[in-house]
Amino acid sequence: MTQTSADMLALPPSYKLSISVIIISLPLLLVSLWIGVPIALIGLFLLYQTPMIKLIFTPTALEVKRKDKLLKTFPYAEWESWKIFWQPVPILFYFKEVNSIHFVPVLYDPEELRVQLEKYCLDCAV
């Protein structure tokens, strides 16, 4: 079966998490460089990764791409559960496959992420 672009949905990026981490690091820089600098670097790293890493939902699997290069495919048939952590401000997406677990920062529109997960993985939701 050949997949068309109509069968696939790339989640739009969201900069909320990366910018929030950078903002949190600013007052910490005034308190302690040992705390503020690592947090600021994490925020900058997330800011860089947000437009680079793409999550693409296909009818059979979640694909992870960097720009247009496919990095990894996660078939839904192997998923046991998933969850988006901390609902007031979604920051982490977790999913468990038969043989492994994965944690992904929410660098995408969290509502669209939830909609797609419910569409393709409703049977494996936590």
Residue pLDDT, tens place only, 58-112: 999 999 999 889 999 999 999 999 999 987 788 999 999 999 999 999 999 999 9
Residues 6+ apart with CB under 8 A from 18: 43, 44, 46, 47, 49, 50, 107
Catalogue all structural domains in the chain, each as residue range(s) with its CATH number.
Answer: 5-124 (2.30.29.30)
Report yes or no: 13 and 49 within 8 Å, Cβ to Cβ: no
Query: Taking the model in full, what pTM does it have?
Result: 0.84
Residue pLDDT, tens place only, 1-58: 335 466 789 999 999 999 999 999 999 999 999 999 999 999 999 999 999 999 999 9
Report yes or no: 23 and 46 within 8 Å, Cβ to Cβ: no
Please give the Cα distance from 25 to 41 (Å, whole number).
9
**What is the length of the chain?**
126
Q: How far is residue 85 from each of residues 36, 66, 89, 93, 121, measured CA to CA in Å?
A: 24, 24, 8, 6, 17
Residue 116 main-chain phi, psi, to 5 deg:
-70, -40
What is the structure's pLDDT at 93? Answer: 93
Cα 125–49–5 angle (5° rounding)?
60
